[in-house]
Amino acid sequence: MKSQQISKSDNYILEHCVDKLARINNSDYALGFLVDGDSSPYLINVDSQTVSAPELLFEPIKNKLNKDLIDYFSDKPCLLKDLFCYEGHESDYDDLLNNEYIDNLRYIPIGEGSELYAIVILINIELSVRSKDLIDVTPFLLATITLLKNKKRATKMLPIKARNDLTSKKFQDQGQKILDSMLKNTFHPAFLFNDEFQVLKSNLAAHRLFNSNLERGWPVMDKLINSTLPGIAFRLLTSISKMSFLGHLDKQQWQNVTLVLNSYQSVTVDIHLFDIVYFGRQCFGLMINEKTEVDVNHEVYNASLQRFNALTSVVPMAILQMDKDFNCSYVNKTWAKYTNQNTQQSLGKGWLSSIKTLDTDEILSEVIRAISHSNSFKGEIELTTVAGQGLWVSMNAVGLFNDRFELTGLILTMSDISDERSNSQKLQKMANYDHLTGLSNRAFFTDRLTLALARVPRHGITALMFLDLDRFKNINDTLGHHVGDIVIQEVAERLKSVVRDEDSIARLGGDEFAIIFTDITAENVVALIANKIVSAINLPFTIEGKVMALSCSIGVSIATEHNVSPIDILRKADLALYKAKDLGRNQFCFYDPILEKDLSLLHYLTDDLNHPQKSGFFFVFQPLMNASNGSVMGFEVLARWSNSEMGMIGPDIFIKTMEENGLIQDFSEWLFYEVILQVKLWVSEGLLVAPQKVAINLSVKQLHLIEFADSVLALFKKEKIDPSWFTLEVTETAFIQDPAIAGQNLRALKKAGFLIALDDFGTGYSSLGLLRQMPLNYIKIDRSFIQDILQDSEAEKIVLAIISLGQMLDLGLIAEGVEDIETKEWLVAQGCICHQGYYFHKPLLINRASELLKTHQNIEFLPNL
Ligand code: C2E
Ligand code: CA
Ligand code: CA
């Protein structure tokens, strides 16, 4: 016999199946064919009894089978269609039946549904054997099917049908949707699970029956079946195993079985088990039909109720049960302890009167929202306690649902968190508040500012105010820090009294405060408040019996819709504050884009000062003239600075910027050095002759440096130049702010040979006392008076007074800003002959100054002043 053999082990089950079938049917011959939809049948086995059968027998059978298979796969009627069908006399089979060896034959297709995996052909069976007699063979047949099916899947990956049916995916998806929607809408609890017993899908009814939380997953299905359906668990699980092994099984049902929900609740149900293809995978469905209401085992129930009561009375937690409209039906003892409300008072809506939290309605609707979303709520609320005080509790709520999964009620639990809260409040207070004033600190302020700015696009104007006390350092230095602290506290109180409750005040550190104003209707409202604050701080402070006057400077920046970056707003308020200080303190100033210029100015100034050649900086010399004979008495050195970006900037501006930013000392050292070189040159050339002087302006900041005089003298010593060639110009401010150090510096300098001139006299305090104390040689009458003397009798009187004061105190007089001949004549007539002004000369570049010195060589000098 020529047969295509496949290894015995590969087809062990099919061979046994053929054997078994042959024996049961008592056939003469049995043949097994493997079928593949694409190729002709493939003989894998002949029954042992057929070993002697002639080849003649097989050929016609194979041919016939081939034809039948083609018909079968093209859906034409054929013998294969009927399982176990015996056809002995049909013409179609005449050829076969005419064969001397064949009396009858039976096809036994091995497959499932429309899938065909193998065919067993039995020849010459006993006709008395009926289909029902074959029942014993069924397990073999099914096992064979499963094996062949798996083999086919393994080799072809997909069943034949799925492989060539592209439209089936669409139908499958649609089917899936229908299935999902059916599950969702049925009142019968249902589960879909896979052969690993993992639940793939369950419906609301299932969750309701098992009182499960939707967030929590299901246990594996075999576990669930074992614990809830103990009566049929074994049979049910066996059926499922069989199903998964065999690939399919008819629907299975168990009626009136007990489903155990928990230790005291059970329900009678019908169970339907079915197989189903879910997303291309063989799965199982379990549907439960509840026949009775939940049975309550009263004995077990009572026991559990007692347990419940015992527990609820001892737990340190208030427990309340209520319907979905918050009508309370149960409270435990802890609730009464917390609130001093007894059960009777708490029932219905009574319990709500113990909720201290203001927005109760909002919280309750939040509870409902959370429950319907995730069946749990967690929050913190305040209760009214026995003494009418507040008690903070953390509140949890879970929902209770009916059959249709509608919310019917709630269980609330509350536990005391007042300790926790007060600790965390303390910590929060420490982290967020300034301990001295109780105002917000910088960290908290930044948070608030960010929040306030986020509101800007929807709400009114938000303004940020920076406030800095003027000369607060003096208070700390002279009266001590404890007085400083009291002042700060008093300032905080005054600020609170001026601003609205909703405005937030913060102490940023030292004597700096910030205030955020939200929902402001107009900018001028902020200006009004700023004004009020300035006045409030101006009111006298009485501390430890001492009365003192204080002032503050304020910078304001306004946040607009297009400008809500916290960093930007802070910077702008800071710039405005600087401006307010600049303008003379004790005032407020709004941010203005012009202020930005100051910033770039600082940037460029710093760059240039760091440059070895101090690029951009230079100086000019303005002659001081003897107005009566036209001789040059000396020069005042005036600094200049120009920058390619910013153009020429006046010294009034850049000197101040350097002073404020600690750059003045660097600059001054450079200037001194350069001027010394120039003076040395002039002296060596014989251009500068005693008693001519070169005047250099000193900054207030320099005079306040203890080592200032020493450093100047060291430089002069090093450069070997006599200080008596120089005049130093100082302003009164230096003496007002720090008379001790300024006086010390000046005395040392004067002693070394420098002359000292008091600049801008008349604009400041013009204090006679100071004039006496200070080591001065000259007074420079400020040009604002000089320029007005001919038009303004007041200015005239002032200048006359200054002149007589100078004469009285034996001080030389220099008139600044003489611009015309009339002014010059008037001053000379009053005895003031040293003039500086455009009438004679504007400030001159070095070579022009040198020229001037040359041309005036022969002029007779005035006596030394
Ligand atoms: P200042 O010390 O009062 O200098 C005199 C100012 O009056 C100069 O302005 C000068 O150009 C100007 N001036 C002189 N005569 C006339 C006149 O007839 N009419 C008018 N309208 N103005 C006249 P400048 O150069 O702008 O200097 C301004 C201020 O800058 C100076 O005032 C001084 O306080 C400060 N400064 C200039 N250079 C230096 C310096 O090197 N160091 C320091 N610390 N300050 C300086
Ligand atoms: Ca000057
Ligand atoms: Ca001056």
- From atom 19 of ligand 1, which residue's Cα is the shortest distance away? 817
- From atom 17 of ligand 1, which residue's Cα is the shortest distance away? 817
User: Which atom of ligand 1 has the smallest separation from the CA of 651?
Assistant: 30
Residues 581, 553 contacting (CB under 8 angstroms): yes
Rounded (10°) CA dihedral 323, 324, 328, 333 = 90
Residue from 299, 230, 293 nearest 259 by CA: 230
Please give the full DSSP string across 756-779, using - where no structure is assigned: EEEEEETSS---HHHHHHS--SEE
pLDDT for 282 equals: 76
User: Which atom of ligand 1 has the smallest separation from the CA of 696?
Assistant: 41
pLDDT for 7 equals: 36
| Rounded Cα–Cα distance for residues 475 and 489 (Å) | 14
Reduce the secondary structure of 351-420 to three states and give it as a string: HHHHECCCCHHHHHHHHHHHHHHHCCEEEEEEEECCCCCEEEEEEEEEEEECCCCCEEEEEEEEEECHHH
Contacts of 493 (CB under 8 A, 6+ apart): none
| Rounded Cα–Cα distance for residues 621 and 100 (Å) | 143
pLDDT at 667 over 90: yes
Residue 89 main-chain phi, psi, to 5 deg: -130, 10
Segment 211-221, tens digit of pLDDT:
654 445 678 88
- DSSP structural state of residue 19: H
Name 276's bridge partners. 283
pLDDT at 688 over 90: yes
pLDDT for 638 equals: 98
Is there an atom of ligand 1 within 6 Å of 782 CB?
A: no
Is there an atom of ligand 1 within 6 Å of 815 CB?
A: no
Segment 319-362, tens digit of pLDDT:
888 888 899 988 888 898 888 888 888 999 999 988 887 678 88
pLDDT for 171 equals: 53
Burial zone of 237 (CB within 10 Å; 0-12 exposed, 13-18 middle, 19+ buried): middle
Worst-scoring range by mean pLDDT, 146-155, 165-174, 411-420, 746-755? 165-174
Segment 14-29, tens digit of pLDDT:
666 677 777 766 777 7
Is there an atom of ligand 1 within 6 Å of 686 CB?
A: no
Q: Which comes out higher in pLDDT, residue 312 or 274?
A: 274
Q: Which comes out higher in pLDDT, residue 272 or 100?
A: 272
Residues 659, 652 contacting (CB under 8 angstroms): no
pLDDT at 203 over 90: no
pLDDT for 576 equals: 93
Residue from 211, 189, 199, 181 nearest 375 by CA: 211
Q: Per the structure block, which two tokens stand in for 547?
A: 């009365």
Q: Which amino acid is at 854?
A: K
| Rounded Cα–Cα distance for residues 139 and 144 (Å) | 8
- Could you tell me the pLDDT band of residue 670, with boundaries at 50, 70 and 90? very high
pLDDT for 295 equals: 59
State in Å: Cα 738 to ligand 3 middle. Answer: 20
Residue from 440, 460, 470 nearest 534 by CA: 470
pLDDT for 42 equals: 54
Most confident stretch, 34-43, 550-559, 658-667: 550-559
Worst-scoring range by mean pLDDT, 74-83, 101-110, 567-576, 705-714? 74-83
| Rounded Cα–Cα distance for residues 106 and 420 (Å) | 85
| Rounded Cα–Cα distance for residues 415 and 392 (Å) | 8
Segment 458-489, tens digit of pLDDT:
777 889 999 999 989 888 888 888 899 999 99
- For residue 37, give the H/E element and its range: none
% of the chain at pLDDT higher than 70: 78
| Rounded Cα–Cα distance for residues 329 and 346 (Å) | 8
Find tokens 């450093």 and name the residue.
711
State in Å: Cα 602 to ligand 3 middle. Answer: 24
pLDDT at 161 over 70: no
Residue from 137, 76, 151 nearest 106 by CA: 137
Contacts of 683 (CB under 8 A, 6+ apart): 725
Worst-scoring range by mean pLDDT, 164-173, 234-243, 491-500, 669-678? 164-173
pLDDT at 786 over 90: yes
Q: Which amino acid is at 817?
A: G
Segment 24-78, tens digit of pLDDT:
667 777 777 776 644 445 555 454 444 445 566 667 777 777 777 766 666 655 5
Name 543's bridge partners. 546
Name 29's bridge partners. 123
- For residue 573, give the H/E element and its range: helix 566-582
Is there an atom of ligand 1 within 6 Å of 623 CB?
A: no
| Rounded Cα–Cα distance for residues 598 and 605 (Å) | 10
Q: Using alpha carbons, list the distances in angstroms from residue 390 to 346, 366, 418, 427, 777.
A: 18, 21, 9, 20, 76
Is there an atom of ligand 1 within 6 Å of 699 CB?
A: yes
User: Which atom of ligand 1 has the smallest separation from the CA of 650?
Assistant: 26
pLDDT for 561 equals: 73
- Could you tell me the pLDDT band of residue 278, with boundaries at 50, 70 and 90? confident
State in Å: Cα 411 to ligand 2 middle. Answer: 85
Q: Which comes out higher in pLDDT, residue 186 or 740?
A: 740
Segment 671-685, tens digit of pLDDT:
999 999 999 999 999
Segment 181-199, tens digit of pLDDT:
777 777 788 998 887 888 8
Worst-scoring range by mean pLDDT, 511-525, 662-676, 677-691? 511-525
- Could you tell me the pLDDT band of residue 418, with boundaries at 50, 70 and 90? confident
pLDDT for 187 equals: 77
- Could you tell me the pLDDT band of residue 1, with boundaries at 50, 70 and 90? very low
Task: Write down the mean pLDDT value for the chain.
Answer: 80
pLDDT for 172 equals: 58
The residue ranges of DSSP E strands in 242-384, in sequence order, are: 252-262, 265-278, 281-290, 295-296, 318-323, 328-331, 377-384
pLDDT for 64 equals: 72
| Rounded Cα–Cα distance for residues 665 and 673 (Å) | 12
Nearest ligand to residue 671 Cα: 1
Give the Cβ contact number of residue 521 at 10 Å: 8
| Rounded Cα–Cα distance for residues 280 and 720 (Å) | 103
Segment 808-862, tens digit of pLDDT:
889 999 999 999 999 999 999 999 999 999 999 999 999 999 999 998 754 444 4
- For residue 849, give the H/E element and its range: helix 846-855
The stretch 116-120 carries a mean pLDDT of 73
* Most distant CA pair in the chain, distance: 165
State in Å: Cα 654 to ligand 1 middle. Answer: 12
Residue 366 main-chain phi, psi, to 5 deg: -65, -40
Rg of the chain over CA atoms, in angstroms? 54
Is there an atom of ligand 1 within 6 Å of 625 CB?
A: no
- From atom 45 of ligand 1, which residue's Cα is the shortest distance away? 697
Residues 841, 852 contacting (CB under 8 angstroms): yes
% of the chain at pLDDT higher than 90: 29
Find tokens 């004067």 and name the residue.
750
pLDDT for 14 equals: 66
Name 648's bridge partners. 642
pLDDT at 248 over 50: yes
Q: Which comes out higher in pLDDT, residue 18 or 669?
A: 669
- Could you tell me the pLDDT band of residue 231, with boundaries at 50, 70 and 90? confident
pLDDT for 155 equals: 45
pLDDT for 134 equals: 53
The stretch 128-133 carries a mean pLDDT of 53
| Rounded Cα–Cα distance for residues 163 and 115 (Å) | 12
**Is the bond preceding 109 in cis, omega lying within 30 degrees of 0?**
no
Residue from 99, 91, 31 nearest 65 by CA: 31
pLDDT at 279 over 80: no
User: In testing the pocket of ligand 1, which one of 614, 637, 638 has its CB within 8 Å of the most ligand atoms?
Assistant: 638
pLDDT at 222 over 50: yes
pLDDT at 5 over 70: no
| pTM recorded for the entire structure | 0.43
Q: Per the structure block, which two tokens stand in for 699?
A: 């900054």
- From atom 7 of ligand 1, which residue's Cα is the shortest distance away? 817
Residue from 730, 671, 672 nearest 701 by CA: 730
